[in-house]
Amino acid sequence: MIFTLILSVTLCSISQGLDNGLAVTPPMGWLSWERYRCNIDCDNDPDNCISENLYTAMADAMVTEGYKDKGYEYVNVDDCWMEKERDANGTLVADRKRFPHGMKWLADYMHAKGLKLGIYEDFGTFTCGGYPGSEFYLQKDAETFASWGIDMVKLDGCNSNIQDMEYGYPAMSLFLNQTGRPMLYSCSWPAYVVFSKQIPDYKKIASYCNIWRNYADIQDSWDSVRGIIEFYGNDTGNFSLVAGPGNYNDPDMIIVGDYGLSYDQQRVQMAMWAIMSAPLLISVDLRNVKPEAKALLQSDILIRINQDANGSMGKRIMKNGAMEIWTKKLGFDFKGMAFAFLNLDDGGGPLRVNMRLYEIGLTNTEGYNVTEGFTGEFIGVLKPYDVINASVNPSGIWLGMAY
Ligand SMILES: *[C@@H]1O[C@H](CO)[C@@H](O)[C@H](O)[C@H]1NC(C)=O
Ligand SMILES: *[C@@H]1O[C@H](CO)[C@@H](O)[C@H](O)[C@H]1NC(C)=O
Ligand SMILES: *[C@@H]1O[C@H](CO)[C@@H](O)[C@H](O)[C@H]1NC(C)=O
Ligand SMILES: *[C@@H]1O[C@H](CO)[C@@H](O)[C@H](O)[C@H]1NC(C)=O
Ligand SMILES: *[C@@H]1O[C@H](CO)[C@@H](O)[C@H](O)[C@H]1NC(C)=O
92-104 pLDDT, tens digit per residue, is 999 999 999 999 9
**Cβ–Cβ under 8 Å, residues 302 and 268:** no
**Coil, helix or strand at residue 204:** helix
Closest CA to 116 of 170, 158, 163, 58: 58
Higher pLDDT, 52 or 15: 52
| Cα 398 to Cα 345: distance, rounded to the nearest angstrom | 14
Q: How confident is the model at residue 380 (pLDDT cuts 50, 70, 90)?
A: very high
- Counting ligand 5 atoms within 8 A of each CB, the residue from 312, 328, 364 with the most, and so the one to mutate, is 312
Q: Strand pairing of 323-330 and 336-343?
A: antiparallel
Give the predicted TM-score (pTM) of the model.
Answer: 0.95
Listed in sequence order, the residues at least 6 apart from 140 whose beta carbon sits closer than 8 Å to its beta carbon are 90, 91
Ligand 1 nearest atom to the CA of residue 89, by list position: 1
Q: What is the pLDDT of residue 190?
A: 98
**Coil, helix or strand at residue 5:** helix
User: From ligand 5's centre to the CA of 356, what distance in Å?
Assistant: 25
- Counting ligand 4 atoms within 8 A of each CB, the residue from 238, 240, 316, 317 with the most, and so the one to mutate, is 238
Ligand 3 nearest atom to the CA of residue 236, by list position: 14
User: From ligand 4's centre to the CA of 196, what distance in Å?
Assistant: 20
pLDDT tens digits along 270-305: 999 999 999 999 999 999 999 999 999 999 999 999
Asked if 217 is an active-site residue, the reply is yes
Listed in sequence order, the residues at least 6 apart from 335 whose beta carbon sits closer than 8 Å to its beta carbon are 364, 403
In this predicted structure, the answer to whether residue 2 has a pLDDT above a threshold of 90 is no
Q: What is the pLDDT of residue 9?
A: 38
pLDDT tens digits along 69-91: 999 999 999 999 999 999 999 99
Q: Given 164, 201, 217, 235, which residue is catalytic? A: 217
20 Cβ below 6 A of ligand 2: yes
**Cβ–Cβ under 8 Å, residues 61 and 110:** no
Share of the chain above pLDDT 70, in %: 96
Average pLDDT of the residues in 11-35: 85
Cβ atoms within 10 Å, residue 133: 24
Ligand 4 nearest atom to the CA of residue 199, by list position: 13
310 Cβ below 6 A of ligand 5: yes
| Cα 200 to Cα 222: distance, rounded to the nearest angstrom | 26
| Cα 367 to Cα 388: distance, rounded to the nearest angstrom | 13
Q: How many helices and strands in the chain, by DSSP H and E? A: 12, 16
Q: What is the pLDDT of residue 15?
A: 43
Bridge partners (DSSP) listed for residue 318: 325
Q: What is the pLDDT of residue 333?
A: 82
| Cα 48 to Cα 53: distance, rounded to the nearest angstrom | 9
In this predicted structure, the answer to whether residue 249 has a pLDDT above a threshold of 90 is yes
Average pLDDT of the residues in 48-76: 98
Listed in sequence order, the residues at least 6 apart from 62 whose beta carbon sits closer than 8 Å to its beta carbon are 29, 30, 68, 72, 75, 113, 115, 286
In this predicted structure, the answer to whether residue 8 has a pLDDT above a threshold of 80 is no
Nearest protein Cα to ligand 4, atom 4? 238
Q: What is the pLDDT of residue 98?
A: 98
- Counting ligand 2 atoms within 8 A of each CB, the residue from 172, 177, 181 with the most, and so the one to mutate, is 177
Q: How confident is the model at residue 334 (pLDDT cuts 50, 70, 90)?
A: confident
CB within 6 Å of ligand 3 — which residues?
227, 230-231, 234
Query: How are strands ordered across the β-sheet holding 280-282?
Result: 248-250, 211-213, 184-187, 152-156, 116-122, 74-76, 28-31, 280-282
In this predicted structure, the answer to whether residue 246 has a pLDDT above a threshold of 50 is yes
| Cα 304 to Cα 337: distance, rounded to the nearest angstrom | 12
Q: What is the pLDDT of residue 360?
A: 96
Q: Strand pairing of 152-156 and 116-122?
A: parallel
Average pLDDT of the residues in 173-185: 98
> How far out from the chain centre does Cα 154 lie?
11
Proximal ligand: closest to the CA of 197: 3
The sign one gets for the Cα dihedral 134, 140, 144, 145 is positive
Average pLDDT of the residues in 342-356: 96
Average pLDDT of the residues in 92-118: 98
Q: How confident is the model at residue 16 (pLDDT cuts 50, 70, 90)?
A: confident
**Domains of the chain, start order:** 8-306 (3.20.20.70), 315-402 (2.60.40.1180)
Integer distance in angstroms from the first to the last C-alpha of the chain? 52
Q: How confident is the model at residue 7 (pLDDT cuts 50, 70, 90)?
A: very low
Q: What is the pLDDT of residue 236?
A: 98
